[in-house]
Structure 1
Amino acid sequence: ASRNTAVFLVGLLLSCVAMRSGARILEEETPSSKGEEQLLELPTLPKVELSPFPEVHLPPKPELPKVELPSFPEVHLPPKPELPTFPEVHLPGKPELPKVELPPKPEMPTIPEFHFPQPEAKP
């Protein structure tokens, strides 16, 4: 995992360097005068008028003949059989698990503070 992270960070660094050099090249090529803006005049395009859409008259929908569905015959089903009852099962109670006492957590070692020595004043 650390190797992948290192490769990712190196790639990120290289892309930042490439972007910076590209930006520097673009900055050098653009004119330095801020007040002078160069606007290109775009040619005006001729306005195209579309011909009006012709109205379409559709013939009326033909009426479909009514279809009568045949009636389904009556079906006499036998009565549902009664389901057998399941016998009651008496399960023994859950056994109680013994309590496990864990040893106390070890304390984290403290990191000693380090103070840099004050530099001596040079006369």
Structure 2
Amino acid sequence: MASNPKSLLPLLLIVVALITGNGVLAIRHLLEAELPKIPELPKPEIPTLPKPEIPSFPKPEIPSLPKPEVPSLPKPEIPSFPKPEIPSFPKPEIPSFPKPEVPSLPKPEIPSLPNHEIPSLPKPEIPTFPKPEIPTLPKPEIPSFPKPEIPTLSKPEIPAIPKPELPTIPHVPNTPLH
């Protein structure tokens, strides 16, 4: 379903173009047909009615009530408790231990390894190859074709169709309403 009604316009034009000549004639008659004029009827008069009177009532009086007295309550007393005594403990003494002596070990001797000589190998020779030759190809020729001629068509003539006459619609005579 199309979301935009303007996108339906080309489709509508294509459908109308494909309709046979009788359909086009019927559409033309529908578009050119005039609607019959409807006579305007007289408007009935509405009588004016007198405005109703609203009686005025006396304003009600609200009696004033005495202000209630809130009794004052005595403030509650919080009893005081004696502060608990925390006994003090003597600080523990940490005994001092003699520092342990670490025995000294003799330094190990690392034996020296004999020096090995790496034999020198001869450098390999890389053979040189001749540079390859790339053959040149001839440039392809694109054949030229003659420009096609588009034939021009003559504009079709639409024959004039006489406008059909519609039968007259009888009018209702204006009679006064009772």
TM-score when scaled to structure 2?
A: 0.28
Bigger fraction of residues in helix: 1
The structure having more radius of gyration, on CA atoms, is 2
TM-score when scaled to structure 1?
A: 0.37
